[in-house]
Structure formats: C-alpha cells, structure tokens
Structure 1
C-alpha cells in the first residue's frame, strides 16, 4: 500500500514540476496539478451535458428525444413515446402543427410496424422534362445525402451503401470520388464537386471522358453538381490532413497527410449561362439526369438561373441544403452564420420557381435535419419531392453526436480513418440498421400523410401545416412563407399518377 502511495506522490510531483516550468498555460503555471482538473472538465464537458445536464429537448443539433427515435427505429425497437409531449409548446415560436382530417378517402394503418414494407416512390420522374435517356422515378423519397469516403470511414460507407440497397434508396457519393466502398449494391448519385474528384485529369481539371467511363462502370442514376453545402456554404470541401490516408490520397489524386481543401468555386464554368451549358454537355454525354446542390445566400443566382433556363437548357433537379446542415469540418462562422436555414432557404427558391411556372418541370430535394418526420413533412409541404438524410443516417449506424468529425477521433468509427476506431463498426449490422431507419421514416411520412387525407407526402400542401406562436395563435405555412394557393404540391397529372401508384403499392398489412 505504501508503495502505491509513494508512486502516486511521485506522479503528482512530476506533474507539478512539469506545470511549473511550462509556459504554454498560465493557469497550470500558477496552479500546478489542480489546474489540470479544469482542462479535464473542459474536455469531458460535452459528454457531461449530453448525458447528465441537458433535458430531452435542449441539446443541439439533435436532442436526446430525436436521437432516441433514430436509434430505436434503426434497431426496430419501440420508438413510441409515453405520457404526452415534453416539447415546450407554450413558449415555442414556429413549432409545426400538422392538421389531420376527420374524413378522407385514405386512412393510416395503426399497427406499430405497418407501412415499413410499403415503397414510397417519388411523385416525379427525374429527367422526364428534358427527355434524358436515363430519366427515372426514384424508388424512395428518402435518400442518403452526400458524405464522402474520407469524411466517413470505409466501414461507414459500406454500411450506408448496403443499407441503401436494402431500403431501395439512393446513396450520394459526396464530392470525394466514387470509392470501392460505394459498390456494395446501392444505387448512386455521383456528386461533381469543385475539385472534380473521380472525373478529373492529372492537372485537376474536369475530364468528361473519365466521367462517362465512371458512370458506365457503376450504378450511377444521376449526377449532382455541388455549388455549395450547408456545412460550409461559400467554401469548398475540407478534409483535414490527419484523415487523408494513402488510400484516400490515391482515390482522389492528392498528397497523403495534407489538408485537402477544394476550391470554393468551379473552374469548368463561371456563370449561370456556362453552367447550363455544362449541365447539358454532361447530361448529353452520360444520358443521366443532372442537377444542382446548393446552400442559399444571395438570391441573384436563382433569379439569373430562372431567367436563363429554357426547354432546351434546364437542370433536372435542385437540392437545397439548409445552413443548419452539414457533417464535415467548417469554420464556426460559416457553420453558424452563412446561408439561410432550410425552411427560409427552400421557400425563397421554390417561390421564385413557382412564380415562373417551373415547379412541375424540376424535382426539388431538401436537406438539413430533414431525417426527422416532422421536419421532413414541413419540407414536403413547402414543395420538396424528396429529402436527403445525412447526420440522421450517421446516427442510425452508430454515431453518438460526439461532434469529433473533424478530429479523426470519432469514438464509434463513423467519421474516422483510424483502423482501431473503425473496427468497432460492423458494416453488416449497421447496414441493416440504416435500412430500418429509412424504412421507418418512410412509414411515418406515409402514416401522417394519410392522416392528413392524402396518399403521398408530396400531396401535402402549405395549407396542411400551421406554425404556432406558443398558445396564442397559428399561421399556415402558406401565409408565413408567402406561398400561392396549391403551391408546395405536385401538379394535377403527377398527383393523379402517384395516387394510382400508391393505391397499387399500399396493400393491407398485418397490424
């Protein structure tokens, strides 16, 4: 016992001696030994707040209740909540209330898992307006957002891609190229970023021939030109050097161990006119639908885009990323204060296309905390045809919101390149959980849509949801965001078609 005490005293003495001579931390120099407690508490503070201090709805970006719903859904456990809502309805401004109907032609099934096996395809055929050879109707309105191999581990990418195959949804590659781990059976959206990884020449310039070859050799269903993203709007992608392994460096064609900073703007085009030429060139060469991904800031771009589009030059889809979204490393000011949050961003863009009479010609996709049923339903009411899930999909495969994505020390192996941390993530198990989560989200979207009285979430309108101001008043989404009548839903032809499709797909299930 005395030996252990002596060893402890020696360790404390050594720590005190180190603190007294170091010059980096004034606190340690003035208060040796005990000052280390302050830094320890600072390091574990997020974990203490996450599990001990904050309540069920206080934590951000995802509350404990929201994470619990995702985890339970992914594991096919009971994701119901008892004893009523613990949300602050009395003091909340902008809280969405979905208005169910008493009588309607459709009614939701009440079984716990009823609807999980029901497909929920898009109400629109992407690429149909321009007659693309590869025009298609996505099988799922919920799809996996762009998260690159590099930002996420190989095990995480494999789990997500296999999960996409099991759920019948699309998996976006992110801008970090199409890796071997994206070839596990899931259909892909290939993202063309500003560095053109996967489709560039030795000088880093866009290479159309390489893109054509890539698309011909992989299950790529459509191409997404990334202009900006919610994580760092206005900046290019950033993969910290600590995460740039030899394998990632080889796939991207960059030096290993060095920060991979993509340019903030494209080199293949420099204005709206040349961008539309680029879109048509790529679509013509590959036959695939081509669209844009962008966060929303200055609106001049969108006005110019609408003015420049014609039946001969048009994007096939637009993916709006909210400023509150993002899974990658970003400067704090960009993450917090650059670009509009999703609801404001999307409504600003959609309203312009609606006024121009173009909403039926383009598929609208949304991203930014839309992997939760209430947020997703608001997005559909505002005019989204599909939603992408990023961080929620990460939660489904094990993420605990440690917020260490940018440090290469993700404790669950999701957002790291360290082999020891990655080994804890079993791709087969997590693939099933990713699929379960996506199916459950689709189930809830379908159930609530039917409670509103429509057969598909794309048929929900901006009059079907109110935003409340505490217990004082409420206003329809249409009024809050300045929408016209019948905005936020698909046109009559698409509505009739998707209603007929859902009638065929929605067979009775056991309760």
Structure 2
C-alpha cells in the first residue's frame, strides 16, 4: 500500500515537473519546477498571513506589495481593482500625494480595461526647435527606460522590445549597444555612455562613423548621451568578464571574457561647450534629435547648460532626468542611498533653469526613477515632463519578483542574468504581451486621471491639481511645495487664458 502511494505521488511529481518545464507562462516554474509552486501558494494566502506578520501592503521597498500587485494585474490583463478602501494612513504619511478631482470631469473616459487604440502622444515635436532633419513627435508619453543587454538577458530585452512595438512606444537601449534582441520591431532611443559601446574605435574612443553606421542599421529615432544615472552618479560601471560573451563582446566592441569597464567620465568632451559641440556633431551626422540623461547634483551645471544653449541656439533636443531613487543592476550602497537628488527635488531645479533661460518650450523633458505608477507619472507631467520612462516597473511586468539579486547574475526569473538556463525560463512571446499591457495600462491611467482633473491630456494637468498631505490634517498646494509659478509645467502651445475652456 505504502509503495503504491509513493509511486503515485512520485508519478504525480514527475508529471508536474514535466508540465512546469513545458509551460511558458511562469519563468519561476520553468526554472524551478515543482518547488516553484510554493511561491504561488504563499502568495495566494498572503493577505491572510499578513494579518499575523508585521510586513504590510506598503512596507516593502523599492516597490510595495500593492504597487507590484497593480503592475502584475494589469500586465496579465487581470482585475486590478482593490477592495474595502485604502489601507494607507492618509493623515500620518508625510508628503502624501492627493490628486484633486474636478467636480465636472472631462467626458469620454469611464471604467474598464485600457483600450490599445487610445493614443496619448507627446505634445511636443522632439528636435523641432533645432530643426533636426529627423525631428518627430513621440507617439506615446510612456516609454521604456534605459536597460542594457548584458545587465538584462537577451530574452528580457526581446520581450521589452516586442512589447514596445505592440504598445507603440520607444525603447531605450541603455549604454550596452544595440543587440539583435533590440531589433524585434520596437523603435529605439540609442544611448551612448562613457564606454561608447557599439560606436567606439579599437582604443575605446568615440567613433562618429561607426555611430552613423549603427544608426542606419537599426530603427533608431533619437540618440541619448548618458552623463550619469540616478542609482550611481559619478561612477562608471563594470560588466564582469564572465558575462562578456562573444555576442556581447561583438555588440560592444570589447574583448571576450575581459571585464568591460564604463569610465566615470566622457573622453569626447570635458565641459558644457564641449558637450554642446558633441551634441551638434551627432545631430548633423545622423539628422536625429539628440539629448542628454543625467542625475541631478550640483546646480551650476544645469544653469550653465541652459545659459549656453540660450546664447548659442545649440544643444540637446531633450533632457532626461533620472532620480536618485532609480534602479541599477549593481551599485555601492552609499551611492544608491545618498548620492543624487530624488526626482521630486532634482527635476524642479532643472526645469526652473530652463524656464529662466526661456527654453522650457524648446526642450522635451523626460523623467525616470519610480515614475511607472499612475500617481507618480501624473505628478511628473504636472511638473513639466513630456515623457515618462519606466525601467524596473517594465521588468516587473515581464516577470521580475523584486528578488534583488540583479548584482549576482542569479535572477530567478531570467530577467537580470546572462545565465542561459535561467534566461531560458522567460518566454519573450508571452512576456512581450505583458509588457505591452502594462505600458498601455499606465498610459490609459494617465489619460483617465487627466479627465478626472477636468482636462483632456495629462500634459494639461498642473501642480494646482495636487496637494501634499503632511503630518496631521494639513494639506499644502503642490505648486507651493515645489516653488512653481502659474503656468509652469504646461507647454506654451497648450496654455489657455484663465477662465477659458
């Protein structure tokens, strides 16, 4: 009897393992057959267990359980609603964000799932102010942030690129160059970092001719010069030699099996005037809009940049600001925690510099750093963002479980790893649909929230539509918190006279 039961159980486990290995919906089950079910079982009874465990829905970081649940739900096309009211402590949460709805919302948006046919384009034409030959209007206000191949697996990059194509948005390559996984139909923003990967000569110096050839070979719509990123500003990066496969080496133009180093500074320019000249060289050679990405530290750089742009008529067509809360595959703890200003502090300072130089309407502003949730994205647009870039949130949509093992190369879901076995658990075809679902859901929520505020596009939402609840029952208008003047944050072409409709 006992042997019969054991055989039955054994056969059942073998069958379950075979099913797990063959199915494509869950990377965890493909990589960890049978035992992976424990995670989903515990997740299913999580609300009940949390009645007796200290961690609540909003305690985990960098993304809370509620935030991850929303991303997972919209990515899978499941019910993303929450019941029984908020479990946030609205009165005792410092700087708690409140969106002030209009008594008479704008018509046209009701409940329901995102409509993929609903476009939410950028209100500015990128490159128009500098008359770039290939200026264009981004088709989506939500796009995928810089995520390099090497940091992420080929399967993950392919899923994101296909998802970008389905959602009609842009996909930033990150500084690791353009891989075959980036060439799956999604339009690209080519990022150039300090290593000039994909456009460098044999000595590691920037090579304009190679950049022109690379741009011609891929669906690149814009070029972004990376000055720094929020999670580790002032530092370069290292891809360990064990991760530098022949494919990655060919894409980046580096030796196989040797540590791939991104220096902490650029060698193609050394000051603001040199940066402006570098931008113009690339724009003239490619015809593309060219921008810069940076975290925010010392303010003098931004003031000088805006002043020199106003004086010369040259410079970046777009500026991407990465908050200090942004993510990365690996960084020293002190840099992640204490270097670079958070987005809500840094971006207003940069925006003010461009307003005071009279350039705010000529530059397309993009932002990143935990902006992939509706309320954060809408606040960013009210501050003056034209585009919202999402990174870790897009990773969550394709299966990331916030295991925080990015720096080890042992990501259990196959997202942030070069381990072939782990990466094989991620099915790009299925995950691309989930990436697209998430991107369209965020875009749709921005549009719905704009209508709730009484306007028809999220770029028309201003800081007057927000209040910040401080400790105790005190609400402070967001415009006062961030020091904005009336009309700031809305492109001039969209501004209306007070009282007009």
| Shorter-chain TM-score above 0.5 | yes
Q: How far apart, in 2, do the equivalents of 1:57 and 1:132 lie?
A: 45
| Correspondence for 2:414 | 413
Q: CA deviation at 1:108?
A: 5.0
- SS, match of residue 188 in structure 1: strand
| Correspondence for 2:277 | 277
- SS, match of residue 463 in structure 1: helix
- Map Cα deviations across residues 195-222 of structure 1 (whole Å, 9 max, x no partner): 1001111111100011111111110000
Q: How far apart, in 1, do the equivalents of 2:81 and 2:284 lie?
A: 48
- SS, match of residue 408 in structure 2: coil
Q: How far apart, in 1, do the equivalents of 2:116 and 2:464 lie?
A: 27
| Correspondence for 2:88 | 87
Q: CA deviation at 1:470?
A: 3.6
Which of structures 1 and 2 has the bigger CA Rg? 1
Q: How many residues align?
A: 449
Q: How does 1:298-337 map to 2 (within 5 A)?
A: 298-310=298-310, 312-337=313-338
Q: CA deviation at 1:258?
A: 3.6
| Correspondence for 1:119 | 119
> Which stretches of structure 1, 4 residues or more, deviate above 6 A after TM superposition?
47-51
Q: CA deviation at 1:127?
A: 0.3
| Correspondence for 2:294 | 294
* Residue pair 1:124, 1:494 contacting (<8 A) in 2 also: no
- SS, match of residue 406 in structure 1: helix
* Residue pair 1:176, 1:197 contacting (<8 A) in 2 also: yes
Q: How far apart, in 2, do the equivalents of 1:240 and 1:432 lie?
A: 32
Structure 1 residues 64, 482: closer, same or farther in 2, change over 3 A? Answer: same
Gaps (5+ residues) in structure 2?
1-38, 497-501
* Residue pair 2:222, 2:288 contacting (<8 A) in 1 also: yes
Q: How does 1:146-185 map to 2 (within 5 A)?
A: 146-185=146-185
**Comparing 391-400 with 356-365, which one deviates more in the overlay?**
356-365
- SS, match of residue 95 in structure 2: strand
- SS, match of residue 469 in structure 2: strand
| Correspondence for 1:208 | 208
* Residue pair 2:460, 2:494 contacting (<8 A) in 1 also: no
Q: How far apart, in 1, do the equivalents of 2:333 and 2:256 lie?
A: 26
Q: CA deviation at 1:53?
A: 4.7
- SS, match of residue 135 in structure 2: coil
What RMSD, in angstroms, separates the aligned Cα atoms of the two structures? 1.8
* Residue pair 1:189, 1:223 contacting (<8 A) in 2 also: yes
Q: How far apart, in 1, do the equivalents of 2:430 and 2:453 lie?
A: 35
Q: CA deviation at 1:81?
A: 0.6
* Residue pair 2:329, 2:416 contacting (<8 A) in 1 also: no
1:342 has 2:343 as partner: yes
Q: How far apart, in 1, do the equivalents of 2:118 and 2:124 lie?
A: 18
Q: How far apart, in 1, do the equivalents of 2:135 and 2:494 lie?
A: 15
* Residue pair 2:114, 2:440 contacting (<8 A) in 1 also: no
Q: CA deviation at 1:437?
A: 0.2
* Residue pair 1:173, 1:182 contacting (<8 A) in 2 also: yes
| Correspondence for 1:484 | 485
1:465 has 2:466 as partner: yes
Q: Give the TM-score normalised by the residue count of structure 2.
A: 0.87
| Correspondence for 2:219 | 219
- Map Cα deviations across residues 213-256 of structure 1 (whole Å, 9 max, x no partner): 11111100000000000121111233233432232122212233
* Residue pair 1:115, 1:447 contacting (<8 A) in 2 also: no
Q: How far apart, in 2, do the equivalents of 1:256 and 1:94 lie?
A: 49
Q: CA deviation at 1:326?
A: 1.6
Q: CA deviation at 1:475?
A: 1.3
Structure 1 residues 455, 207: closer, same or farther in 2, change over 3 A? Answer: same
1:383 has 2:384 as partner: yes
Q: Give the TM-score normalised by the residue count of structure 1.
A: 0.85
Q: How far apart, in 1, do the equivalents of 2:434 and 2:241 lie?
A: 30
1:61 has 2:78 as partner: no
1:440 has 2:430 as partner: no
Q: How far apart, in 1, do the equivalents of 2:127 and 2:423 lie?
A: 38
| Correspondence for 2:130 | 130
- SS, match of residue 407 in structure 2: coil
| Correspondence for 2:361 | 360
Q: CA deviation at 1:464?
A: 1.1
